[in-house]
Chain A
Amino acid sequence: MGTQIICFSDTDLGSFLRASSSEALDELDFGVIGMDRQGVVCEFNRYELKLASLKRENVIGKNFFIQIAPCTNNNLIAGKYLQSAQKTDVILDYIFTYRIKPTSVRLRIIIDLNEKKQFLLVQQQ
């Protein structure tokens, strides 16, 4: 990757994330959650682990919308993610409840139905 600086709002970020190792994702300064189409977590980068005060072994293999962040289990987030029938790259503002503290975040949902791994990105506002 060299000295390339990756930003939350970069275009074609999905291709970069899919090509990156877990270690590379840990270097990013925004949260990266990699999931399958059902929301089962396969990537959870260091930034997001720290923000949510979670350990990697406690999140991998779990359903993000139900077991990790139930605050997103509604039509706005989980619905958009799970029911997306086409390639999606959308940014929206939301409130996360890390340690029951309301935290304004910007979310980016990146879905490519041809790929196994999909992403939810989190940037603290």
Chain B
Amino acid sequence: MKKNSFYLSSNNKLSDVIKSDLSLELSELHDFINQSPLGLIRANKWGKIIMLNAFGSQIITPIAIVLKQSPTNILDIIGAIEPELKEQIVTYKENHGTICDNRVLSVNHVGTHTLYISFTIKKIAVNTFLYAFLDYTETHNSEQEVKELNEQSALDAGRLEMATGILHDIGNVVMAFGTEVSKLRNMQKWTEIKEIQKLIALIEAKKYAIDSSIGDRKAEALLSFLSAMTKSLEQKKILLNTAVDKLYNTTSHVQEILNIQRHYVAGKESGKRTEVKLENLINDSFSIQQKSLTKRNILFVKDIDNSIPTIQVDKTKLIQVFINLLRNAIEAFDEVVDDRKRIIKVMATYLEDDRIIQLIFIDNAIGFDSQIGHVLFERGNTSKVTGTGFGLNNCKEIIESHHGSITIESQGKQLGAKVIILFYLSKLKNEHL
């Protein structure tokens, strides 16, 4: 049969052709609605489902079964999820109109997870309602993740702002303190000693005159007294100068640390990727930990390959990792009781063929059981007596956010530890490569 043709053969009646075409169109329409990627239900005012497409059944039938409701009555199903919406539908007075538009209902799917279904419900005739719906769970969960990330970012920004404020306040106090220490240092002329020495010279020159006027050997006694006073003052001078120098150096170091920290939090840079030289970050980490290294008599050795290219990183985050790793290595010496030579070595090499930067922190401190290396990065796990187990976990998260990897190993107790960080430059945005 030739469809839609104006000329019909004598055997075909016009009505048969129209009937056939309508039947085909109806079949296509059914398929079109049935395969639509949106749940569609046509129901009467009591909720009885008159029409239902495939996607609709795919979503609504399991929900009805879980909620122990009839899968052929949409009002019962909605009533079991949100009774207010059922009431809204039942009491809707108009003959036509939208009852709700993209209203998200949550269904606790027994034994698995919560489903979020977005419903649009319209009254399309006196006794006819159209329900259009789709599974909104994935979108809802993505939106939740974005919301949580935004909240976390806001929290980080708040912390950063607070940290900046604290650093600023501490900086001001330390600056004032440093000024006083500098003044004190400049005051250490000890002119009194020079004056006494002049007096000693004078007494020596007038020794006989003094003896004859105030008594025999009195000048000698006076000289002895003044020499003892000079010696005492000289000792005090050395002690005080040493103390003031130490105070001055410590204040300078605190100021240096504050300057580094200010640099890292300046402009709320956390999260921002900037081009940095890894060596600079390592130097800054060392400066911050320098006092602790000196206090524990630990030799810090650095071996950085000059060919390492600059990389795009979040330097605020990355320095946290380096400081943390250095601190761990330093504190690992607290449990060492023998008199071994204490060394922390940081090595960085560039594996050019694979475009990988390999960074190794190695120490000869207490180490740990060789079996537990892989679990130390899990939140809450630590090998330290006073550790919380959050530091290494944070390090791992930060390194992985830079598409890198981090591993820690030890040959066993007393045998030191080695942390290996790999940065894959092919995965890091790097304009110089």
Contact = CB atoms under 8 A, between A and B. Distances in A.
B137 interface: no
Contacts, number: 64
Please report whether the interface of chain B is mostly helix, strand, loop or mixed according to DSSP: helix
A102 B65 contact: no
A95 B72 contact: yes
Interface string A92-103: 111111011110
Interface string B32-76: 011100000000000001111111111111100100000110000
Please report whether the interface of chain A is mostly helix, strand, loop or mixed according to DSSP: mixed
Nearest to A92: B65
B289 to A, nearest CB: 53
Contact of B57 (A53, A97, A99): A97
B58 A102 contact: no
B53 A97 contact: yes
A92 B65 CA distance: 10
A22 B236 CA distance: 112
B30 interface: yes
Given A71-B61, A74-B62, A95 B71 contact: yes
Contacts of A99: 30, 34
A69 B35 CA distance: 9
Interface in A58-94: 69-76, 92-94
A38 interface: no
Interface residues of B, number: 23
A15 interface: no
Contacts of A73: 54, 58
B65 A76 contact: yes
A71 B34 CA distance: 9
A97 B65 CA distance: 16
A75 B137 CA distance: 14
Nearest to A67: B35
B61 A100 contact: no
B72 A102 contact: yes
A96 B65 CA distance: 14
A72 B57 CA distance: 8
Nearest to A53: B27
Contacts of A69: 54
B280 to A, nearest CB: 53
B112 interface: yes
A70 B33 contact: no
Contacts of B27: 53
B52 A100 contact: yes
A20 interface: no
Given A100-B53, A101-B51, 8 more contacts: A74-B62, A92-B65, A93-B65, A94-B57, A95-B71, A95-B72, A96-B57, A99-B34
Interface of A: 53, 69-76, 92-97, 99-102, 104
27 contacts: A69-B54, A70-B34, A71-B54, A71-B55, A71-B56, A71-B61, A74-B58, A74-B61, A76-B61, A76-B62, A92-B65, A93-B65, A94-B61, A95-B60, A95-B71, A96-B57, A97-B34, A97-B54, A99-B30, A100-B33, A100-B34, A100-B51, A101-B52, A102-B51, A102-B71, A102-B72, A104-B71
